[in-house]
Amino acid sequence: MLPARTRLAVAAGHAVSRLSRALGKGAGASVGGKTILALDKGAIAAMAAGRPIALVSGTNGKTTTTRLLTAALSTVGEVVANAGANLPSGAAITLADAPPGRRAVLEVDESHLPAIAAATEPDLVLLLNLSRDQLDRVGEVRMIAARWRQMAATLSGATVVANADDPLVAWAAMAAPKVVWVAAGQPWVADATSCPSCSEPIRFADGGGWVCSTGDLRRPDIDRTMLGDDTGLRLPGRANRANATMALAAAAVAGVDEEKALAAMADVGEVDGRYRTITVGRTTARLLLAKNPAGWHEVLDLLAVSRDPVVISINSRVPDGRDVSWLWDVAFERLTGRPVFVTGERWRDLGVRLRYAGVDHEHRPSVEAALESLPPGRADVVANYTSFQSLIRHAATAPEGATDAAA
């Protein structure tokens, strides 16, 4: 039974949430969760008590890994999860909607993870990767790693499932009492070239290992290797195999049969609009989210398998990061020679970047306008966070009956 104060806060949060939805202000989760936390600062801890909780955090792959882990854990019981709402308000409304005792899987913003972990006492913590993202808001990525390390030391009741291939993640997770080390890869190493512990250079081996040049810090021994590309996952690309491997490792710790877990994960075809296919005009377009250099690194690999036109949409609102300097960390040179269209609120920054990359491009007022101007065929759309959100809200058609509110 929840404390009276928490029950009151939850009732108020639900009321505000319903009002917000009725007024057409969106799904209402954020404002409902904020109401709960405003009325009862301890609500998350109270609502987390007595239920198993898995937390998923990292710069990239949080939402997808949360979805995959939810699918895997659902093979043995009912699971609640937050759909992309990864701030404390999202955790609050998700737990408020969950029956007592039910397993929860929560994706958590990197900078909020220590506080959420302290409040929820999770049994599973998945640490995916850390790289530069939203430097104006989040600050330096090493500071996040240091705060994760402090948190890890306090996780006495949890198994940490950590990406051993990312030196920042590994250094943080080494402080935890119990860790399952996964070789989930981290092709983007530009944020881990100097040791998080002593700042000396880190050397990366071709086989995936890494070691500080002092020899004092190195990749931990691996407990689980990366899934191959023959597992039948519908989600494309290396990054999603990494996400699935992390989710599978966590599901195994929770006692789930791995074959069943893998079958359930293989069935996930899109995640909150990511990888969805839409049809606009005579063009069938695949929607991809990329919001930072590490994410783009993986997406450029996905794009490289075809010569289809690419539409890129870039915004710089608060959730995107106000600073778009990061566009210069992306190897857009790889798009040379194929049709490229630029849009979004910061299309001019992108245009200048593409000129120096030697990539011919044209501006269009919107993604839809770009797709409508194409001859019949396929295309890829790559958008960063808020431009992706507005895109899936306005997506003309959504095969498979999917909607952007899919939970």
Task: Provide the binding-site residues for another protein, judged by CB under 8 A.
Answer: 132, 135-137, 139-143, 190-191, 193-194, 196, 199-201, 293, 318, 322-329, 348-349, 351-353, 355-357
CB of 138 to another protein, least distance (A): 8
Of the pair 181, 326, the CB lying nearest another protein is at 326
CB of 202 to another protein, least distance (A): 10
φ/ψ (deg, to 5) at 148: -65, -40
Give how far Cα 384 sits from Cα of 51, 252, 392, Å. 34, 33, 12
Distance between CA atoms of residues 336 and 51, nearest Å: 51
Of the pair 212, 247, the CB lying nearest another protein is at 212
SS3 380: strand
Residues 293/190, Cβ–Cβ less than 8 Å: yes
CB of 370 to another protein, least distance (A): 18
CB of 194 to another protein, least distance (A): 5
Distance between CA atoms of residues 265 and 389, nearest Å: 24
Of the pair 250, 327, the CB lying nearest another protein is at 327
Of the pair 257, 323, the CB lying nearest another protein is at 323
Of the pair 241, 346, the CB lying nearest another protein is at 346
Of the pair 15, 352, the CB lying nearest another protein is at 352
Quick one: tokens of 311? Answer: 């539409």
CB of 23 to another protein, least distance (A): 22
CB of 366 to another protein, least distance (A): 18
Distance between CA atoms of residues 366 and 110, nearest Å: 31
| Radius of gyration in angstroms for the set of CA atoms belonging to the chain, rounded to a whole number | 21
SS3 79: strand
Residues 361/354, Cβ–Cβ less than 8 Å: yes
Hey, CA dihedral for 21, 100, 91, 78, is it positive or negative?
A: negative
